[in-house]
Amino acid sequence: MKSKSTILAGALLATGSSALFTGKVIVAKLAYERGIDPLGMVLLRMVFASPFFIAILLMRLRHGARAKATDIAFAVLLGLVSYYLSSMLDFCGIQYISTALERMILQLSPSFVVLIGVLFMGQKLDYRLLGAIAIGYCGIALMVLSESGPEAANAASSNTLLGVTLILAATLCFSIYVIGAERMMLRMESRFFTALAMTGACVGVFIHYAISRGFTPPTHDPVVGMLGLAMGLFCTVLPSFMINRAIQLIGGSNIGPYNYVGMGLTFVASAILLDETFTLIKLSGILLASAGALALTMGKKKETGKA
């Protein structure tokens, strides 16, 4: 039986990590307004975050962490699929849609995990989860309608659909990572795996940028540089440790509701800093998408019988 102080600490860490992870979208949008593009922003994120993950990798190696060469290669590959490819798609997509829509699409990643398992891994479909998936996607449809409805210009509508497509692709990539990571962390220490995956992703970003633009800096604007520093430290490294600690304190299956509290705080910040509006249709979509995602998470929890 966990004490109230332990539960409170875990709840605060889960809420804070969610708010910080979501805050990367706000930071990116502020940087885009000053002229940097998605590739440059992803590079800045990795430049400031990579020293910490490399240090963790070296520390785990010093403490005896080891794995088969094939497992190490697969961990790096998963990092490339998620924190490189998924991040690139995500950072491109957020140019065209709101913070709220981007977050809610990503929150439905469990539906991708379910469908991948059914289509490619021989898992049985629990038809009780279809209702949760349907509710979640109805919420996303309402949010898309609020940003590209009949009152919107054709260009705005097409940009919204492009943004949604890119974020859906990012969600698919991250879902593949989740499936692979769950299996890999049965074969190697979780911190060692995370450090390997993140280091691989950083190398992928550095190579991509070097091939595309050589060794020219992504920006000469000190404000953008500070935004990149904030994203690397406060929206990547810090929340990754916070969420891991929260999982230790209250369990991974119990952090879902706190994610939405953190996102809610970030939506308020996006309304203030980015002048994003929340119409009745969008708010209805957020509620439906949240209900679907939570129901899907709780349904999978009951299915596995694990707390």
pLDDT of 306:
40
> What's the residue count for the chain?
307
Residue 266 has pLDDT above 90, yes or no: no
Within a 10 A sphere around the Cβ of 193, how many other Cβ atoms? 25
Nearest one of 190, 241, 247 to 65, comparing CA atoms:
190
Q: Are 39 and 209 in contact (CB under 8 A)?
A: yes
Residue 50 has pLDDT above 90, yes or no: yes
Separation between Cα atoms, residue 163 and residue 93, nearest integer Å? 4
More confident residue, 165 or 297: 165
Residue 304 has pLDDT above 50, yes or no: no
The pTM score is: 0.85
Residue 22 has pLDDT above 70, yes or no: yes
pLDDT of 112:
85
> pLDDT above 70 covers what percent of the chain?
90
pLDDT of 254:
67
Mean pLDDT, all residues of the chain: 84
> pLDDT above 90 covers what percent of the chain?
36
Phi/psi region, residue 305 (left: phi>0; alpha: psi -120 to 50; beta: rest), is left
More confident residue, 31 or 124: 31
Taking CA atoms, 237 is separated from 55, 115, 118, in Å, by 12, 30, 33
Q: pLDDT-derived band of residue 111, with 50, 70 and 90 as boundaries?
A: confident
pLDDT of 297:
65
Q: pLDDT-derived band of residue 23, with 50, 70 and 90 as boundaries?
A: confident
- In this structure, of 46-60, 136-150, 249-263, the range with the lowest mean pLDDT score is 249-263
Residue 307 has pLDDT above 50, yes or no: no
pLDDT of 305:
42
Mean pLDDT for 278-288 is: 86
Q: pLDDT-derived band of residue 1, with 50, 70 and 90 as boundaries?
A: low
The tens digit of pLDDT for each residue in 209-235 reads 999 999 999 999 999 999 999 999 999
Residue 91 has pLDDT above 80, yes or no: yes
pLDDT of 148:
72
The tens digit of pLDDT for each residue in 232-253 reads 999 988 888 787 678 678 765 5
pLDDT of 89:
96
